[in-house]
Chains A and B, each alone.
Chain A
Amino acid sequence: MKCLISVLLFFAATTCFANTIIVGKGKAISSLKLAIKTSKNGDTILLNAGTYKEGTIIIDKSIHLIGVNTPILDGENKNEILTVTGKNIFISGIHFANAGYSSMNDYAGLKIIDATNIKVEKNIFSNTSFAIHISNSTHCTISNNSIKGTSKSEHSSGNGIHLWKCSQMLIENNTIQGHRDGIYFEFVSHSTIRKNWSEKNIRYGLHFMFSSDNSYLSNTFRNNGAGVAVMYSKKVIMLRNHFDQNWGASAYGILLKDITDSRIQYNTFFKNTIAIHMEGSSRIQVEKNIFKENGWGIKVQSSCDDNNFRFNNFYGNSFDLATNGTMMLNYFSNNYWDKYEGYDINKDGTGDIPFHPVSMYSMIVEQNPHALLLMRSFTISLLDKAEKAIPGLTPENLVDNYPKMKPNKL
């Protein structure tokens, strides 16, 4: 009841008493700072096109800041541009440019602190060390922003969308590139990240730690320095994402470290050096994903247990599966492996002999990476065939007892 009243009151306040303040050259107010100062809760500030160099601007009232024809807020490479705190604030249509960089403070294009119910929509961020930096906030929506960093090294750059200690957040439809991490979460819960496009970031396209109960849906992570890293979290849901061309010495489609009780489903992994690298993870359902033309489809360290890999399709990967030990406590069934050479006499679509997805050669490469140079040689294929006939080195219980003859329909 109390909640309802407050919503009604808010509605009333905005509709009945709201003013609109227009800021721009030749207008009564040409300074955004001044406009904010004179505004009241519920007011709307329309910022006309132009470049505004006003140092760090602070919004701590419940106002709407709307850019008309994309005005530019320029931080002149030395300032944080906009700091937002409070509740019910809406920011849209602004071009944030040239935020300062400091190794002491996390300067950002837009910083949101101790806030709730903030909407940030359709803004442009360029050359901002952190683009959007949110901490200790709830119920915010960050959507349709275009974020482009220019930094070259990991140390001198910040993250695209950075969230620390937040909950109930929605990050949607943003494009992020050229930052350290595209999207960074630490201590974030009950949030949804969907339809974002994160590419060419220096480190990770998506990076989160200690962030449980979040969903990642239909995002694309492409060509990031190290792919996506996901650590120390529970109940993570990752559906319909694309992990493409994350190439490099330690680049992963997803790096899973100490992740439990999660779901990774309907994702596509295409041309990653390692599509999924898993360590210390348990009870993850990896289902109905497509692994195509990756270096390694899945690398499961022997510290993982109780994970289920079912109904996935593996095509044209150099190695479908690799592991570092002989113990295997994970389950594989009903996957389609293009390397499977078995037969199906009873025509039920499932191969009659089990498939061992870890090849002898992948064990060799784990031990001696230089052996990679012998890939696809006749000697290696003979070795693999011999190992298939008399298994010795490969983990015997790592087996798909129900390999599919045709790809699973997804």
Chain B
Amino acid sequence: MLKLSRYVLYDILRSKIVIAYTIFLFAVSLSMFQMEENSSKAMLSLLNIVLIVLPLVSLVFTTIHYYNSYEFIELMSSQPMSRTRILLSEYAGVAISLLSAFLIGVGIPVLLLAPNDIGFALLFSGVCLTLVFTSIAFFAAVIARDKARGIGFALLLWFYFALIYDSLVLLILFSFSDYPLEKITLLLSALNPIDLGRIFIMLKMDVSALMGYTGALYKDFFGSGTGILFTTGIMLLWIIVPLWLAVRKFRKKDL
């Protein structure tokens, strides 16, 4: 598997987009830390990068990559190599390159300039979200018929997870504000990996506010050992399930 991923990685590196992405992240992170007086405000800006830019780039890049590698995938599928192995190699290649971009671009500045709880939470969420959205993008790309549709679908998914979902949650919160919503909100947060990543960082960043009346519930839950296991578990599911669906679909797909 890794043999194949090596070529995928090589191909991605040659296209230079990932290198540009790394430099972009690095420059943004550094300038955030330079511009802001205290690192907590820089962290806030980085939070937006992690929650918004990371999923978007992961989705779009992966989808485009998938269609650009269609020839490679075709070639491989005429060789004695299983479809599962081909797709997983592709996933590994893309995930490794996006992850390295994130860890170099954001990880190094954070580790050097703000190696605290918030920083580590940020990196953890960033790593999870990169893997999750790469996985979701593979699913989108495999089920879409052509490149335009695939990218469109990926953008739609991003829109949904980054924007529409939270608006819906807000709507639900207001529509049912007379009911006890604690459990529901916990459940709702698990259904969106961006929310889950955000809450994980928020636990460290806004710990004071979360100690308040309703916040304490979330703090107690997510802050506890079970909560961390829960977060990690749900994130893993978000990585595995779309990828599994993508593989399942890919195995039956005509190339």
Residues on A close to B: CB < 8 A?
A: 247-251, 271-274, 293-296, 315-319, 338, 364, 367-382, 406-407
Contact = CB atoms under 8 A, between A and B. Distances in A.
B38 A375 contact: no
B202 A375 contact: yes
Nearest to B199: A373
A113 to B, nearest CB: 39
B189 interface: yes
A382 B214 contact: no
B52 interface: yes
Q: Which A-B residue pairs are the 7 nearest by beta carbons?
A: A295-B209, A379-B166, A318-B209, A247-B211, A295-B208, A316-B40, A369-B214
A247 B208 CA distance: 7
Interface in B164-205: 166-167, 169-170, 173-174, 177, 181-182, 185, 188-189, 194-195, 198-199, 201-202, 205
A274 B212 contact: yes
A108 to B, nearest CB: 32
A296 B170 CA distance: 21
Given A370-B214, A372-B209, 19 more contacts: A247-B208, A248-B216, A249-B213, A316-B41, A368-B177, A369-B215, A370-B173, A370-B185, A372-B215, A373-B188, A373-B189, A373-B195, A373-B199, A374-B166, A374-B169, A378-B51, A378-B162, A379-B166, A381-B48
Contacts of B214: 369-370, 372
A252 to B, nearest CB: 10
A247 B220 CA distance: 13
Contacts of A369: 212-215
B163 A382 contact: yes
A379 B163 contact: yes
B206 interface: yes
A377 B166 contact: yes
B1 interface: no
Contacts of B38: 315-316, 338
B215 to A, nearest CB: 5
Dominant secondary structure at the A interface = loop
Given A295-B206, A316-B38, A380-B166, A373 B211 contact: no
Contacts of A247: 207-208, 211
Contacts of A271: 207-208
B96 interface: no
Contacts of A293: 40, 208
B28 interface: no
B211 A273 contact: yes
Contacts of B41: 315-316, 338
Given A271-B207, A338-B38, A368-B173, A378 B213 contact: no
A295 B201 CA distance: 15
Contacts of B163: 378-379, 382
A250 B213 contact: yes
Nearest to A377: B166
A372 B210 contact: yes
A12 to B, nearest CB: 58
B37 interface: yes
B99 interface: no
B42 to A, nearest CB: 11
Interface residues of B, number: 42
Nearest to A338: B41
Contacts of A319: 209
B212 A272 contact: no
Contacts of B209: 273, 294-296, 318-319, 372, 375
A371 B173 contact: yes
Interface string B21-54: 0000000000000000110110010011001100
B218 interface: yes
Contacts of B205: 318, 376
Given A373-B218, A375-B202, A375-B206, A368 B174 contact: yes
B40 A376 contact: no
A251 B47 contact: no
Contacts of A379: 163, 166-167, 170
A406 B38 CA distance: 12
Contacts of B216: 248-249
A76 B95 CA distance: 68
Contacts of B44: 376
Contacts of A294: 208-209
Given A295-B206, A315-B38, A380-B166, A372 B51 contact: no
Contact of B202 (A338, A376, A382): A376
A335 to B, nearest CB: 15
A369 B199 CA distance: 15
Nearest to A379: B166
Contacts of A407: 37
A147 B163 CA distance: 53
A367 B163 CA distance: 22
Contacts of A375: 198, 202, 206, 209
A13 to B, nearest CB: 56
Contacts of A273: 208-209, 211-212
A316 to B, nearest CB: 4
Contacts of B173: 368, 370-371, 374
A308 to B, nearest CB: 25
Given A272-B208, A318-B208, A318-B209, A295 B167 contact: no
Contacts of B52: 378
A364 to B, nearest CB: 8
Nearest to A272: B208
B19 to A, nearest CB: 27
Nearest to A250: B213
